[in-house]
Amino acid sequence: MARQRKRKGDPVHGWLVLDKPVDLTSTQAVGIVKRLFNAQKAGHGGTLDPLASGILPIALGEATKTSQWAMDSEKEYLFTIEWGSSTDSQDKEGAVIGTSDARPSREAVEAALENFIGEIDQVPPKFSAIKVNGERAYDLARDGETFELEARKVLVHEARVTDMPDADHTTLHVVTGKGFYVRALARDLAVDLGCEGHISMLRRTRVGDFTLEDAITPDALETMGETPAERIAALVPLETALDDLPFVDLAAGDGELIRQGRTVKLMPHVMEAWRADIRSSREDRLALAMDAGTALAIGEIRAGQFKPSRVFQV
């Protein structure tokens, strides 16, 4: 029998809310955090462009099993559009593809924004990580390939102007659902206003329950103690990404059964509490099983039973 290969690093579990600086890729950020924690496994909860700063949730260990929930969660952005020129990437790194002397008034921007609130159709930027015939769109765009991306439904909960320091710049705040591209909003807003514009500053201020209040910069993390163990206090629980899931408390002894992947029967009062939770109306009937205050598994509730699908080995 072949021996199981031992993983390098320590079994560290939880989320680090990183305040990513500009000019650092999401992959580089994950590498830094993984090294500083000497973690066996790490990933992120949603790519943030190198030119963007702000919240980049980084999952360590078993928290990587919850990454999809972070990617799908509500997000907030603060960004500035610089008027006068458009670029192929819709940000300041791209090549200029159009210029104009037209400058919108604050009132015009606010009026145009009304068309971008609610469920809208949005064509992603060509400089994006979306795959086209197995290749990343940004690779095709950089190679000068001709291709088109299809519009997709995205949800915008809020969009408003927060500042307009001069005629050349407008700062906006948006609250969005999954799959939304700020650069695409800047592109489409400029078209509607009959102007040229691109993103000159972008900062993500929230991803679900991950906020700037809990965030830490790579530099601050680097100077926090001399060992990975001393940085553990900076982590937030893996269930932080699962705020939209109702939870159920397991009876004594059921935790071990769940760890074995077995289905358990839920007590009547637990089922009543689950039904009363407004998050329980979701069609997939998913829930988070808690064992003595510790997140143990994501699973499905059917006929008064909990069947685990993702068990956290912590």
Per domain, the residue ranges of the chain are 14-73+209-238, 75-202, 245-311
277 is catalytic: no
Q: In this structure, how many other beta carbons lie within 10 angstroms of the beta carbon of residue 218?
A: 16
Q: Report, at the CATH architecture level, how domain 14-73+209-238 is classified.
A: 2-Layer Sandwich (3.30)
Over residues 65-90, the mean pLDDT reads 96
Whether 14-73+209-238 and 245-311 share one fold: the answer is no
Of 19, 49, 188, 209, which residue is the catalytic one? 49
CA 296, 300, 302, 307 torsion-angle sign: negative
SS3 181: coil
| pLDDT: which is higher, 110 or 49 | 110
User: For residue 211, which phi and psi values (nearest 5 degrees)?
Assistant: -125, 170
- Residue 47, C-beta contacts closer than 8 angstroms, at least 6 positions apart: 26, 129
Confidence class of residue 1 from pLDDT cuts 50, 70 and 90?
A: very low
For 155-201, what is each residue's pLDDT tens digit?
Answer: 999 999 999 999 999 999 999 999 999 999 999 999 999 999 999 99
Per-residue pLDDT band for 3 (boundaries 50, 70, 90) equals low
- Count CA within 13 A, CB hemisphere, residue 52: 24
In this prediction, residue 280 carries a pLDDT of 82
Q: Minimum mean pLDDT among 3-17, 84-98, 231-245: which range?
A: 3-17
User: Would you tell me which CATH number, out of the four given (3.30.300.30, 3.40.50.150, 3.30.2350.10, 3.40.1790.10), belongs to the domain 75-202?
Assistant: 3.30.2350.10
% of residues, the chain, pLDDT over 90: 79
Q: How far is CA 151 from CA 114, 172, 181, 197, in A?
A: 19, 23, 12, 21
Q: How many whole angstroms separate alpha carbon 280 and alpha carbon 285?
A: 7
pLDDT at 5 (0 to 100): 63
- Would you give the end-to-end CA distance of the chain in angstroms? 26
- pTM, rounded to two decimals: 0.91
When pLDDT is averaged across residues 261-267 and rounded to a whole number, the result is 95
Strand 197-207 and strand 52-60: the pairing is parallel
Does the domain formed by 245-311 have CATH 2.30.130.10? yes
Residue 225 has pLDDT above 90, yes or no: no
| CB-based contact 137:131 (threshold 8 Å) | yes
